[in-house]
Structure 1
């Protein structure tokens, strides 16, 4: 009897192990690419979401591969050419239309109402369809010290009453005349690439211009129209009047200049807010973007998740993205890396963006001032052309000529690709 019972138990154990193995094998593997290699905080949260998802159901198992941000886009393009795109990938918001047009991505298929209450900048749309969604967004503000503004009799702007262009310019001149700072403002030209379109494109949009008009399929008359040239001339004056550091600014000066008191103001994002708060405490204020004539605007759309166009497992990829959009994960990202949660309910769960929190103002800035960069597959080239134009102008080039050259390059690309229709 004992031997028979022992044998039965062994057989049962073997059978159970076999069933478990079958169950594990039944999970279809989903590959996921992410741009955050080298950031341990991001990796911890992403892998936590993946582990939770894999344990929550028996159909799908996500496997993560991370890339350095600077190599990520080229890796995706190479994979697309080779027909080896992953099932799930993230994409920088303004680049998404190009990837959708290039057939790297397919529209998302999320449960109805899943994106209700998400900040507009976190939802990636092209041609009326949602292709991507972000677990966070970012916002830019003027970092300032209340004591400095008050000592120089400069009005502290609010979301309801931001500085006009004239007030902003006058504030910079006043701070320069105080003689207490190397520069009245740091615009951050040590940062290259997308920073130009993200940080300075909204100034152009506020002035009434833009990098291009997606509906009209052109840049000439938009980037280099009267509003664009007026903005370009003001931009040049920042450097000729020595109101801000130029393109030779080092990364270290960008990181520490405001904290060391060398710059009176700084144009920077919420990701840099906590060190400034630690340095200046309650004296620190985050001011809204100035109004250049068409309303104050800041950049919108950060990194977002999408489903590749070539995946055979779109159902599972969409299921993972829907799972990742839970408020607890949005809050976890915010607490770990300081970015803006995508929903008010997630913001309320965070230490920094909840009501009364030190970064609460950034949620409102994102909600009220955030403006998308041109939603066009041609944006990628347009962004590069805009960066070159602003850099050339900052280095002494003629504003109209630089913007004309950029507009011509953008229009040539649009024509070459039939307007990306």
Structure 2
């Protein structure tokens, strides 16, 4: 997701490569993997992300100091190589005991035998107190939980909207599709903005389904039929989806949005290059610092079937091959202390996963300027399809959406995408267990 890529920075954290792991440095034992007796290995994608890594390190240090039976040691990977390292280690049966996973990948990793179900009974609080999007389940079993989530939103300057006689929407009364189109037309006609809308079309990878499939869903379409997860036909290429694709392309043909945006869309917005930015909660504090009271945090547009945003971020789980599952579960339960939900949110500028943590984060308390993000996460979030097929669906949707922006026929392109997904589902026996 774009937020994570942006936050990578130089750090002194030791970076581990997949080759190192497969050479035997994962701490595997003969009876399983990820542990040498009561010493447990933990993998994280946060090498290069010093702020979030610091919280992980603090939890590990606190856990190790809190008892004498288990010891957790960290191995950190850069996000760009993390998933490949996990897949390679799983094939070699050298997964760690504890690992983080991007929320949309949890069903695939559970189905693939990477993750074991969790039992959080006896932890400080039950996962029921968390935002639904921060809990990773598959086949009605808990496999992972996260400390935070993020929310898509729109940023604008109040002064710019007011100067163009554009209503400032609220979470209870978002813009309709017609209002949004009229707003973009007014901003374009004003002459100051070549492209008044910035939606991050210069991004790649998971950003595309995360950012744009909620708009497809707001039109009434989806990536797959969620009633049984056995087909994309009729939902990814139905009339509602074609309407979304036609609208999506029109943003380019009408000059409202660049086919491929810049490499720093938030900086472009702050520098006045765009009037409205489709972005995420992770940039709120930075924007508020520069724009102050002129910053407008806007809910997503209601494109017909209610506003929608993507849900789920990074979560923690236990490998299925862990040779010391009791120790791994003890660590995971320990990590659910309220202070760590608070610490992660403060370090990353993200939405705390629990109401108790939100109450301790400046701006996220009831009535605070960032409470809108928690409200959006509760009211509008749609998790990406809970199916092991999701990684494939994601890659197909990215290419399809890019082709549509480049001028490909919406109906034909969406139909081809649905056929590709259905072929993948069939060839994998619909990912039956």
Residue 231 (str. 1) matches residue 261 (str. 2): no
- What is residue 201 of structure 1 aligned with on the other side? 213
Q: Which runs of 4 or more aligned residues in structure 1 lie more than 4 Å from their structure 2 counterparts after TM superposition?
A: none
* Deviation by residue 1:357-402 (Cα, 9 ceiling, x = unmatched): 4322211111211111111111111011111011011111111122
CA contact (8 A) 1:88 1:308 kept: yes
Gaps of 5+ in 2: 1-35
- What is residue 78 of structure 2 aligned with on the other side? 68
CA contact (8 A) 1:110 1:319 kept: no
Residue 47 (str. 1) matches residue 57 (str. 2): yes
Hey, what's the Cα distance between the residues in 2 that align with 1:323 and 1:144? 40
Q: What SS class does the counterpart of residue 159 from structure 1 fall into? A: coil
Gaps of 5+ in 1: 1-25
Q: Which of 197, 202, 207 is the matching residue for 1:190? A: 202
Residue 220 (str. 1) matches residue 221 (str. 2): no
Hey, what's the Cα distance between the residues in 1 that align with 2:363 and 2:203? 26
CA contact (8 A) 2:45 2:79 kept: yes
Deviation (angstroms), 1:59: 1.8
- What is residue 257 of structure 2 aligned with on the other side? 244
CA contact (8 A) 1:141 1:289 kept: yes
Q: What SS class does the counterpart of residue 183 from structure 1 fall into? A: coil
Residue 126 (str. 1) matches residue 138 (str. 2): yes
CA contact (8 A) 2:37 2:324 kept: no
Hey, what's the Cα distance between the residues in 2 that align with 1:357 and 1:62? 37
Deviation (angstroms), 1:355: 3.3
- What is residue 67 of structure 2 aligned with on the other side? 57
Q: Which of 19, 31, 34 is the matching residue for 2:41? A: 31
Q: How many residues align?
A: 395
RMSD (Å) for aligned C-alpha atoms: 1.5
- What is residue 289 of structure 1 aligned with on the other side? 300
Deviation (angstroms), 1:406: 1.2
Residue 416 (str. 1) matches residue 420 (str. 2): no
CA contact (8 A) 2:195 2:257 kept: yes
Hey, what's the Cα distance between the residues in 1 that align with 2:390 and 2:114? 16
CA contact (8 A) 1:124 1:132 kept: yes
Deviation (angstroms), 1:351: 2.2
CA contact (8 A) 1:335 1:352 kept: no
Q: What SS class does the counterpart of residue 420 from structure 2 fall into? A: helix
Hey, what's the Cα distance between the residues in 1 that align with 2:151 and 2:138? 22
Residue 332 (str. 1) matches residue 343 (str. 2): yes
Q: For residues 262-277 of structure 1, what are the structure 2 equivalents within 5 Å?
A: 262-277=273-288
Hey, what's the Cα distance between the residues in 1 that align with 2:178 and 2:332? 45
- What is residue 401 of structure 2 aligned with on the other side? 390
Hey, what's the Cα distance between the residues in 2 that align with 1:322 and 1:199? 32
Structure 1, 95-104 or 398-407: larger mean CA deviation? 398-407
Hey, what's the Cα distance between the residues in 1 that align with 2:269 and 2:290? 10
* Deviation by residue 1:120-148 (Cα, 9 ceiling, x = unmatched): 11001111111110011000101011111
CA contact (8 A) 1:218 1:414 kept: yes
Hey, what's the Cα distance between the residues in 2 that align with 1:128 and 1:188? 35
TM-score, normalization: structure 1? 0.91
Deviation (angstroms), 1:356: 4.2
Q: What SS class does the counterpart of residue 136 from structure 2 fall into? A: strand
Q: For residues 369-388 of structure 1, what are the structure 2 equivalents within 5 Å?
A: 369-388=380-399
- What is residue 179 of structure 1 aligned with on the other side? 191
- What is residue 400 of structure 1 aligned with on the other side? 411
Deviation (angstroms), 1:96: 0.7
Q: What SS class does the counterpart of residue 270 from structure 2 fall into? A: coil
Deviation (angstroms), 1:327: 1.4
CA separation of 1:325/1:411 partners in 2, compared to 1, >3 Å: closer, same or farther? Answer: same
Deviation (angstroms), 1:271: 0.9
